Each structure stands twice: as structure tokens, then as C-alpha cells.
A = this chain, B = another copy of it.
């Protein structure tokens, strides 16, 4: 089952992605937990907001990306198992994203003086990304896991599935950068963002780490040498890329 491609650096880059992913989740948790007053649920809507950045980073960036990478990392396992893993990780991503969205709407709607919803570019693009991700999941499940879809349809849809998968991951990261920018500016001047405060430097680093994370993931999944080679007894269409 071994691949004849040039796999140099592959394992190191996957390891780097995991490290950057964990670090970005930890920084988001420290930002919300330490600098922004901690986590709460509906009894304290201002602190319920804390789950929004944390769960969106876990779901729409870390789990989303690792679900894509499953095809590269488990390259020698049976195709069907990888498909199920890929789909399951993205269900988990959707669950985190849904709770993350509930947290931000609650934090706007539950206070005695509610805040307006869905006016910012962050909210517009973010909602489009989550809806697009959900649609991709449904169409992907119907095409690649349900038995009715034939090879012709699968082969036709595959390039669009991968293009939109990578595109929506990049847009999720761009949305996170806008979210960081919003939260940083809402907190001024108390958070000292315009005075190069520790909190400000930390969240700028979070933004750069998310950019590097997504950049390495996109590199890993688009580099032709890293593509999974179908085993000789598998389907003869390139469903793995």
C-alpha cells in the first residue's frame, strides 16, 4: 500500500499543524478565561460570549482542518474508514460551531439592553461560511457515503468538493481574523490594544498563528506529492484528492 511519492517533511508539517492548532485553542481560552473575565452560560450572557471564539476556533478551524487532513494522514487505511472519520470530524465541527453561534446570539439577545445582531462583515461572512460548510457536509455525505451516487457523479463533484472545502476553511480563518479585530476594538481603551498591551499582543499572535495554521494545512492538501495514492484494489477514480 506504500506510496511512491516524495513524502519528505510531511510528518513534520502535520505535527506543526497539530501544535499550532492546540496553541491557538489554548490562546483563545486564555484570552477569554483570563483577560476577558471567564466563561459562563446563559445566566451571564456577557461571559457566555466567551464560548463563541473558543468553540468557533475548535470547530470551524481546528476540527475542520484535521478532518480534511484525515485523507493525508491515514493514507494507508481503508478508504471507507477514512470517509467515515472525515464526515464524523466535520459533524463534531458543526456541533462546536452551533454552540459557538448560540453563545454569541445569546450574548446579544439575553442582556436587559439587547445588542443588535448581524450588522458586521464578520457576522455576514461567518454565517455564510457555517451555512456553506453545512451544505458541503450534506452534499458530500449524499454523494460519497450514500450508495446511490455512481462513480461518474462522484468524479464530477470531487473537484468542487475539495475547492469549496479549502475555500471555506480559508474564509473561516479570515472570519476569525475579523472577529479578533472586533473584540479587540470593542475592548478599547480598557484592554490597552492601542498601547501594545499584553492582551493585544497575545491576540495579534493568535491571528498570525491561525494564518500559519491554515497556510500549512492548505499547503499539505494541495501539494500533489502529498496526495493519497489509491491502492490497486480500490476504485479507479481519484476520489482521494
Contact = CB atoms under 8 A, between A and B. Distances in A.
A194 B181 CA distance: 16
A185 to B, nearest CB: 5
Contacts of A181: 120-122, 178, 181-182, 185
B211 A125 contact: yes
A177 to B, nearest CB: 5
Count of identical protomers in the assembly: 2
Given A163-B219, A171-B211, A120 B204 contact: yes
A170 to B, nearest CB: 6
Interface in A121-177: 121-122, 124-125, 163, 167, 170-171, 173-174, 177
A180 B121 contact: yes
A39 interface: no
Interface stretch (A63-71, A98-106, A195-203): A195-203
Interface string A188-225: 00000111100010011001100100010011001000
Contacts of A185: 181-182, 185-186
B204 A121 contact: yes
A232 interface: no
A2 interface: no
